[in-house]
Amino acid sequence: MPARILLIAATLFALPVHALDDPARGKELYASCIACHGASAQGDAALAAPRLNHLAPVYIADQLQKFQAGIRGGEGAGDSARQMAAIANTLADEQALYDTAAYIATLDSTPAAATVEGNADQGRGYYQQYCAACHGPAAGGNPALNSPRLAGSDDWYLLAQLEAFRTGGRGAHPDDRTGRQMRAMAGVLPDDQAVAAVVAYIASLQP
Ligand code: HEC
Ligand code: HEC
């Protein structure tokens, strides 16, 4: 793809979900998120709180809705997801989710550091075979499929989420259509070593 088309695509992914979403109100609401996710939404590994600034607003809003509904972070979920579900319920109305997501999309920060050891060469094979169809060849995500950007995420978070999908802590709720899709895919990876390999490969895709 020519660079200009890539740039237009990247800009579209960062657009608010609706034209009237208000990043200024989102900035005020985001004040209650900073303690865990950081002022630039860079995340905090010590709190298991992920980076958010690489994600499309539509994905952020969608996940907040799932946390509110107990589809993510409900029964069977781990402590970190339960904690986040409690916080999501403090956002008063649906527009608050979209405004916060629109604000997060305006934030930039330095790239994630590599912390997971895995065979990235082997991981490339798994990624192209099992993941690229939904997450894109360069892990940029595909909003049409609700599949998030993975490039730019922290490797420790990718690892933790793949483990959560594999063990049913995420994506097992009967109403979690997209989560169940992803849970099936996480289960295709044969063992922990394969999970680490695919995570190491995704981490190598950062710009
Ligand atoms: C007490 C700490 C804490 C606060 C405050 C907090 N979060 Fe979180 N958040 C977390 C943790 C921990 C996770 C990871 C959940 C998991 O492991 O599934 C998370 C996950 C998320 C995710 C999912 C990201 C992904 O890629 O899966 C989104 C979106 C999110 N938080 C948005 C917010 C917003 C918006 C606020 C403020 C309204 C907020 N969080 C406040 C701790 C927090
Ligand atoms: C059929 C399409 C599909 C395939 C194939 C797929 N995924 Fe996903 N993936 C998704 C969707 C949809 C989500 C969002 C799930 C949700 O809504 O909670 C997701 C979420 C994720 C997340 C959570 C990211 C975050 O920030 O919350 C990770 C990590 C992930 N996928 C990794 C992978 C890996 C690695 C592979 C290959 C082994 C893969 N996916 C294959 C559709 C897919």
Chain centroid to Cα 40, Å, comes to 15
pLDDT for the residue 110:
83
Domain shared by 79 and 125, yes or no: no
Q: Which numbered ligand comes closest to the C-alpha of 147? A: 2
**Do the domain assignments include residue 109?**
no
**CA of residue 137 to ligand 2 center, whole Å:** 13
Residues 53-80 have a mean pLDDT of 96
Pocket perturbation via mutation, ligand 1, pick of 21, 34, 37, 161 by most ligand atoms within 8 A of CB: 37
Higher pLDDT, 15 or 53: 53
Domain shared by 153 and 98, yes or no: no
Question: Domain boundary at 78, 104, 130, which?
Answer: 104
Cβ–ligand 1 contact at 63 (below 6 Å): yes
**Do the domain assignments include residue 114?**
no
Domain region containing 39: 3-104
Domain shared by 95 and 149, yes or no: no
pLDDT for the residue 112:
87
Q: pLDDT > 70: what percent of the chain?
A: 93
**CA of residue 124 to ligand 2 center, whole Å:** 16
CATH number for 41? 1.10.760.10
Domain shared by 90 and 135, yes or no: no
Q: Which numbered ligand comes closest to the C-alpha of 102? A: 1
Q: CA–CA distance from 72 to each of 14, 66, 79, 148 (Å)? A: 23, 5, 12, 15
Cβ–ligand 1 contact at 87 (below 6 Å): yes
Longest CA–CA span in the chain (Å) reads 46
Domain shared by 16 and 99, yes or no: yes
Domain shared by 99 and 130, yes or no: no
Q: How many C-beta atoms surround the C-beta of residue 59 within 10 A?
A: 21
Domain shared by 34 and 126, yes or no: no
Q: 141-194: per-residue pLDDT in tens?
A: 999 999 999 999 999 999 999 999 999 999 999 999 999 999 999 999 999 999
Q: 127-141: per-residue pLDDT in tens?
A: 999 999 999 999 999
Question: Domain boundary at 104, 134, 161, which?
Answer: 104
Domain shared by 99 and 127, yes or no: no
List ligand 2's pocket residues with C-beta within 6 A. 130-131, 133-135, 145-148, 150, 153, 158, 161-162, 178-179, 181-182, 185, 188-189, 198
Higher pLDDT, 11 or 70: 70
Minimum CA distance residue for ligand 1 atom 16: 81
Domain shared by 128 and 177, yes or no: yes
57-69 vs 79-88: helix crossing angle, rounded to 10: 100
Domain shared by 100 and 70, yes or no: yes
Contacts made by residues 17-23, CB under 8 angstroms, sequence distance 24+: 17/57, 17/58, 17/61, 17/98, 17/101, 17/102, 18/98, 21/57, 21/95, 21/98, 21/99, 21/101, 21/102, 22/95, 22/99, 22/102, 23/99, 23/102, 23/103, 23/105, 23/106
Minimum CA distance residue for ligand 2 atom 32: 162
State how many domains the chain has.
Answer: 2
